[in-house]
């Protein structure tokens, strides 16, 4: 066996070992969350830590639905995140297509502004958002959350879709123009079908952003019946104690929808994120 082959085997071994270590580090918090959610609180602080057994697998999961309206919070979040996604996609498609295909005065300034607003920390916008939404009577209203979440996700969605539209050959649209198709017809019949991976990526980004958002929801929602899952999870924390078994059981349930969406849509997500990286 020559030295080149030995070096190749050694480098591959190091690479796979590092990948295993990285994957273990990433997966460990999820493993620990599930493990703690399957054991009673009296055994959480035991050392050495114990492994969950099948005898108590449903104890904490049943309890959290009894002490908190978790099912209602999940429904609220699904509705709010879904409507936020639809609104963000609808507005972002037209905005991104305009920036990608048309030349107009102030186009460069708009593009710079879209990137610049992403540099502003969300905490600086808390007070203005509260004042504006209070004047609009949108405090403690799901509609207020949908508008706020969409406002924060739209700039990134526009920028992502613009990069994807830029990668679609303009010759396809020119051919449609010659055949008598209108601009709206070209957008819906040619550009959008070719942009499906990008639209899925934008939709996943909007949905997961709305699903995980806490700060804006905290200042706009007060009543427990309108809570999202992020607010509901924070409500498990007591003044003097934290029921970690219930908190992590609820966190596991809250994580599953986002995890399943990512697993089934990761193919389109990767295509959508990389489609505009190289322009022919």
What does the pLDDT look like over 187-238, one tens digit per residue? 888 888 888 888 888 888 899 889 989 989 999 998 888 999 999 888 888 7
Query: What pLDDT is stored for residue 53 in this prediction?
Result: 56
Domain that holds residue 38: 3-56
Q: Do 38 and 159 fall into the same domain?
A: no
Q: Do 105 and 52 fall into the same domain?
A: no
Q: State which of 36, 56, 76 marks the end of a domain.
A: 56
Q: What is the mean pLDDT of the chain?
A: 83
Is residue 191 in a domain? yes
Residue range 15-27: mean pLDDT, rounded: 92
Q: Do 28 and 68 fall into the same domain?
A: no
Q: Do 80 and 185 fall into the same domain?
A: yes
Q: In this model, does residue 22 exceed pLDDT 90?
A: yes
Phi first, then psi: give them for residue 119, nearest 5 degrees: -85, -10
The answer to whether the beta carbons of residues 227 and 221 sit under 8 Å apart is: yes
118/29: higher pLDDT: 29
Q: In this model, does residue 85 exceed pLDDT 90?
A: yes
Q: In this model, does residue 51 exceed pLDDT 70?
A: no
Q: Do 138 and 242 fall into the same domain?
A: yes
139/180: higher pLDDT: 139
Q: In this model, does residue 278 exceed pLDDT 50?
A: no
| C-alpha dist (Å) from residue 142 to 81, 110, 180 | 10, 30, 43
The answer to whether the beta carbons of residues 85 and 210 sit under 8 Å apart is: yes
Query: What pLDDT is stored for residue 191 in this prediction?
Result: 86
Q: Do 122 and 254 fall into the same domain?
A: yes
Q: Do 99 and 44 fall into the same domain?
A: no
Q: Name the band, by pLDDT with cuts 50, 70 and 90, for residue 277.
A: very low
Q: In this model, does residue 79 exceed pLDDT 90?
A: yes
Q: Name the band, by pLDDT with cuts 50, 70 and 90, for residue 164.
A: confident
Residue range 67-82: mean pLDDT, rounded: 92
Is residue 132 in a domain? yes
pTM for this model (two decimals): 0.83
The string of pLDDT tens digits covering residues 55-70 is 556 777 888 888 889 8
SS3 123: helix
Q: Do 195 and 270 fall into the same domain?
A: yes
Cβ atoms < 10 Å from Cβ of 68:
18
Query: Both tokens of residue 253?
Result: 């349930």
Q: Do 265 and 181 fall into the same domain?
A: yes
Least confident among 41-50, 79-88, 212-221: 41-50
Is residue 105 in a domain? yes
169/58: higher pLDDT: 169
Q: In this model, does residue 273 exceed pLDDT 60?
A: no
Cβ atoms < 10 Å from Cβ of 124:
8
Q: State which of 32, 56, 80 marks the end of a domain.
A: 56
Q: Do 20 and 118 fall into the same domain?
A: no
Is residue 112 in a domain? yes
Q: Do 50 and 165 fall into the same domain?
A: no
Structural domain count, the chain? 2
Is residue 106 in a domain? yes
Query: What pLDDT is stored for residue 241 in this prediction?
Result: 76
Is residue 263 in a domain? yes
Round to whole Å and give the CA distance between 177 and 174. 5
Q: Do 95 and 173 fall into the same domain?
A: yes
Query: Both tokens of residue 231?
Result: 């607010």
Is residue 280 in a domain? no
Query: What pLDDT is stored for residue 55 in this prediction?
Result: 54
CATH of the domain at 156: 1.10.3720.10
Is residue 219 in a domain? yes
What is the CA 136 to chain-centroid distance, rounded?
A: 27
């Amino acid at each position: 066996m020559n030295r080149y082959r030995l070096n190749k085997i050694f480098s591959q071994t190091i690479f796979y070992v590092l990948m295993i270590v990285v994957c273990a580090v990433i997966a460990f918090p999820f493993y620990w969350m599930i493990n703690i959610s399957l054991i009673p609180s009296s055994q959480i602080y035991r050392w050495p830590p114990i492994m969950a057994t099948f005898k108590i697998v449903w104890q904490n999961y049943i309890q959290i639905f009894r002490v908190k309206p978790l099912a209602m919070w999940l429904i609220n979040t699904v509705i709010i995140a879904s409507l936020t996604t639809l609104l963000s996609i609808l507005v972002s498609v037209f905005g991104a297509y305009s920036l990608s295909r048309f030349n107009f005065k102030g186009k460069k300034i708009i593009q710079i502004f879209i990137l610049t607003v992403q540099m502003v920390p969300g905490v600086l916008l808390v007070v203005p958002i509260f004042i504006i939404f209070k004047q609009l009577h949108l405090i403690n209203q799901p509609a207020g959350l949908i508008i706020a979440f969409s406002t924060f996700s739209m700039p990134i969605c526009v920028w992502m879709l613009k990069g994807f539209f830029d990668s679609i050959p303009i010759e396809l649209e020119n051919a449609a123009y010659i055949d008598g198709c209108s601009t709206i017809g070209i957008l819906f019949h040619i550009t959008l079908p070719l942009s499906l991976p990008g639209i899925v990526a934008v939709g996943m980004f909007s949905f997961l952003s709305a699903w995980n958002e806490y700060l804006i929801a905290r200042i706009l929602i007060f009543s427990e019946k309108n809570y999202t899952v992020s607010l509901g999870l924070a409500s498990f924390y007591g003044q003097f104690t934290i029921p970690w078994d219930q908190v992590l059981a609820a966190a596991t349930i809250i994580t599953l929808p986002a995890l399943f969406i990512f697993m089934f849509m990761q193919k389109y997500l990767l295509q959508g994120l990389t489609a505009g990286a190289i322009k022919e």
